[in-house]
Structure formats: C-alpha cells, structure tokens
Structure 1
C-alpha cells in the first residue's frame, strides 16, 4: 500500500498552484532540491508519474489530476482539524508579513504583540516596503500577508479593508498658518517616495493648483519628512495619524491651503489558496488592531 504523508501532499499542491518548483520552494521555505525530492518520493510511493516535465513547465498527468482532487479534500480536512482542535499556543512555523511604512509607523507593533501573545512559538518575518513591491512579493508567494494601498484586483487574492488615513498639510511650528497658506507652493513639498500612489496623486493635484511651478521632494522615510518640516526646510502632506504627536508636542503645525489629497486606503491582502487558518487569523487580527488604533486616535 502506498505511504503518503502530509508534507508530500502539501508540496504537490504548492507545485500545482504556483506553476513550478521554484515558486513552491519559496512559498514553503524549502530549497528547490528538497521540493523536487518530495515530488519524486510521492511518485515513487504511488508508482506513477504525476507531472509531464517539458521545457515549458510542469503539467499534470491524468493520474496527477486524480491525485489533485484527493489532495484538496485532504487539505480541507487538515484545515478543519487545525481550526477546531489545535491549540494556538502550540502553533509553530513562520509568518512572512509585509507592510507599508505608514502602517509600520502606526499600529504594526501592536499587531506583532498580539500575534506573539496568541502564537508564542510563531516566527514573524517583517518586510517594510512600498505597496508596489509588497504586491509583487505577495503574488510571488514571498509574503504570506501584505498590508498595502489596495485593494488588489486579483481573483486569487482576498482583500480585507481597513480604516482610511486622512492626510494633512504641515509646516514648521513658528510659522503662521496664514503666511504658509499664502506661499506654501514656493516651498519644497515633502511626501511619499516615487513609485507610490500618494506621490502620483499629490503630483497631479499640485499641477492642477500651480502648473509646473512647484518642487516635490519624495522620501522613503516619513519620519525624516516630519523632521525636515520641523527644521523649516519645507512643507509636507502626510498622514494626520502620524503628525498628531508632533503637533501636540509643538514641533510642527497643520495649515489649510484649501485642499488636501484624498485619504489613503489600505488593505490587508493574502492569497485565497491554499487556505491557511493562521494567515486568516492574522488578517482579521490586523483589522481589529487597525480599528482599535483609529478609534483611539479619533478619541484624542
């Protein structure tokens, strides 16, 4: 009788869904030879070939297609067992979590704390990057969960909406709001890095207001933007949630030039397959943390 184990079936499903050994290895945190060995052992145990291997890729054989249906049923049963019976305190493994800097500066530490409390043996790998890179990492299965400017219009991706981040204009604390509002476009405007949606939308808005007569200074560090504003080296359009502590400390001030870009809309994104109780729990926990964070800020 053929002897099959969970590792072999999960590896088989990963190769099928991701279209090859390389992506499956990345998703499973294995080497490519290890993935190849598991598939070979599975074929030896079943005494049949599961894939036709050609220069264009790997295609399921008829027996491979039969196994796929059984493997998906087995995977679903395993997920039910994990959901209903496994103690979260005993869950081991790795969660590859990607987030935009706005999230990292706000409530990401609270999320990591809660995840560690629920899954004390879980290894959490953090990546902070722009949304475009996070999207690529998620689609390439290099990330399990991505918190980015979304949603992602991909059929394979689940999106969980988050509360919006309002943007505001900031200037040095010792400058009057009236003076800044009258001449703010003569100053460098500090904001999000290039190749991001906030940068592009702000650039379009500034062009509507002043034509080409403005200086837009992108930065990969939002905290650096606030320090430059504090030093009176420019004005900035940044999230109010991040600027509030600087304003309360008297280091910078808000001003109103009569317009502000639309709020930033972030989304928690993760792949729909294979289903993972751990990833779904982390996604819903992230939303709870985000809602609590925005509620606390709005009550200040």
Structure 2
C-alpha cells in the first residue's frame, strides 16, 4: 500500500461516486471529466492494492472494500472540512453550489436568500436554475443540483426536506375579460391558462374547473408562469396565478381578481437536499434555507 501517494481528491471522488451512483454524475459534480474520474479511481485502487469497484458490463458497484473505505473516510473528510472552516469561517468557503428553484420560489424568497448567502459566503459560486418541481427533484437525485426550493410535499428516502411556508393562488384576468366573464356574455369559451401537468398548480386548476362554470376544453398549458401572466394582461384569457408574482399587475390594474370562483388551496413549499450530502457548506445553506418563511418573504 502506497498511502503517501493518496490525495484528498482521490477520496473525495470516491465519495461522490458513492453518493451519486455513477462516474459521470461524480465528474459533473466535481467539474471534471468522466475519464479523469476513472483515472483517479484506477490510481486509488493501485495505491491501495485492492479492488474498489465490481465491473459488470457497463455498470459498476462498490466492493466490500470500497464500501468500507467510503464508510471510514466520509466522517474524516467532513471533520477536515469543518476544521478548515473553523479557522476561517464560512467567509473562507469556496466551491460551486447549484441551487434549483421553481418560478414561485424565485419570485418570493430566493432573491433575498441568495443576497444573504453571498454576504456570508462571498467565495462560493452559485449556479441557479429555474424549473418545474418534477425536474428539480430529478436533478437533485442525480446530483445536478445540490439544494432545491420546490412545491411540496416531497417524499423520497434519498432526500431530506423542511417546509418553508405556503403561497396563495388567485384567479385573475384583465379587467375587460374579467368583466365579460362575470356577465357571462362571451359567445366563445374564455381561454383558461395553467402551468404544465408536472406543476402543482395544474392539479388545482383541474379541480377548480370541475367545480366552476369553466368549459374543460378551454384549458391551455404553459410551462412558464411569467408568460401566462403576460398573456392574461393582454386579454388572452384567465388563469390561476401565485400571489407574489402578480402584485405589481394588480396594483396598476393590469390584472384583476375574478369574483365567484372556487376557493383555491395554497401551494406549500419545501427546501430539499440529498441525505448523503454532508459537506458543511451545503449543510449550512440547507439549515439557513430551512429558516425561511414564505409569508414573511412575500410581505
């Protein structure tokens, strides 16, 4: 065994392979290439004098020796990171953290949270991606995202989550469309807009349509809430919109609530991360995010 030739990056790479399940996912997380990850693991096996991976065609799994090394080294590397942060604090932390968020979270709590995060960790690079909840959870599970702000509830054994509050939903249209719809004098079905089927708002829209006088065939889908808001503003129909995203439009009279429509349950939001991620920086960000209250952030 040539332990003096084993570097921290060898062990860090091994841990990320175990956490994310594949060499390619670990390579993406470490901002390197899959051949580089494979080379590191060959070096580690050679220097330890043992086989860490069992190869079966195109798939790989950890051997008993590999699993033991992961179990033994994970707390050691975490303690080392904590020690280094203890000397300089989170102001000295570095690296890249990928944050995923839905449009609603991005419009309510994310801007202030990111500003506070950058003030505490100025050397940590942030990559923010806005997407639908279903995509955010998949990206989190595959290691493409580290932290996600998503509509809940979220239930997966590989993820830990914390609730961060609810966002109200409102029926809105332009003043002219809302007035015509209220009088029932439209000769054609009024177009209704909803987020795509992967969004929790879509389910609420379907339930609300069944309880209202809206024609089912008038439902249209869009995967971008801001685009739907713009369509409604120019008289293109009515829709259910998250309250934090339409305050300005209501304030200037570009959109107006529609009376006598079915009540809408609010959308609850959670922050989520992988259970296997124990890096102090990620844990700190998750803990800070778990303290958010969307009611306060949207006020």
TM over 0.5: yes
CA offsets 1:4-57 (integer angstroms, 9 cap, x no match) = 322111111222333331222223222111111111121222122222222163
Runs of 4+ in 1 over 6 A off after TM superposition: none
Q: Secondary structure at the match of 1:164?
A: strand
Moved more, 149-158 or 179-188: 179-188
CA 199–82 in structure 1, closer or farther in 2 if over 3 Å, else same: farther
- Structure 1 residue runs of 5 or longer lacking an equivalent are none
- Cα deviation for residue 287 of structure 1 reads 4.1
> 1:158, 1:272 within 8 Å by CA — same for their partners in 2?
yes
* TM-score computed with the length of structure 2 as normaliser: 0.88
> 1:169, 1:260 within 8 Å by CA — same for their partners in 2?
no
CA 45–167 in structure 1, closer or farther in 2 if over 3 Å, else same: same
Query: Following the alignment from structure 2 to structure 1, what is the Cα–Cα distance between the partners of residues 111 and 30?
Result: 26
Query: Following the alignment from structure 1 to structure 2, what is the Cα–Cα distance between the partners of residues 218 and 60?
Result: 44
- Cα deviation for residue 294 of structure 1 reads 2.5
- Structure 2 residue runs of 5 or longer lacking an equivalent are none
Q: Secondary structure at the match of 2:165?
A: coil
Moved more, 90-99 or 111-120: 111-120
CA offsets 1:233-253 (integer angstroms, 9 cap, x no match) = 211210112222211122221
1:2 maps to 3
Determine which of 26, 30, 37 is the counterpart of 2:28. 26
Determine which of 241, 246, 258 is the counterpart of 2:244. 241
**1:277 and 2:280 matched:** yes
- Cα deviation for residue 67 of structure 1 reads 2.0
Aligned pairs for 1:1-300 (under 5 A) are 2-3=3-4, 4-55=6-57, 57-82=59-84, 84-174=86-176, 180-183=181-184, 186-210=189-213, 213-288=216-291, 290-291=292-293, 294-295=295-296, 297-298=298-299
> 1:182, 1:257 within 8 Å by CA — same for their partners in 2?
no
- Cα deviation for residue 296 of structure 1 reads 5.6
CA offsets 1:39-80 (integer angstroms, 9 cap, x no match) = 112122212222222216323334323323321231332243
* CA RMSD, 1 decimal: 2.5
Query: Following the alignment from structure 1 to structure 2, what is the Cα–Cα distance between the partners of residues 111 and 269?
Result: 15
- Cα deviation for residue 174 of structure 1 reads 5.0
CA offsets 1:107-156 (integer angstroms, 9 cap, x no match) = 32222212211111111111111111111111111111111112321111
* TM-score computed with the length of structure 1 as normaliser: 0.88
CA 286–18 in structure 1, closer or farther in 2 if over 3 Å, else same: closer
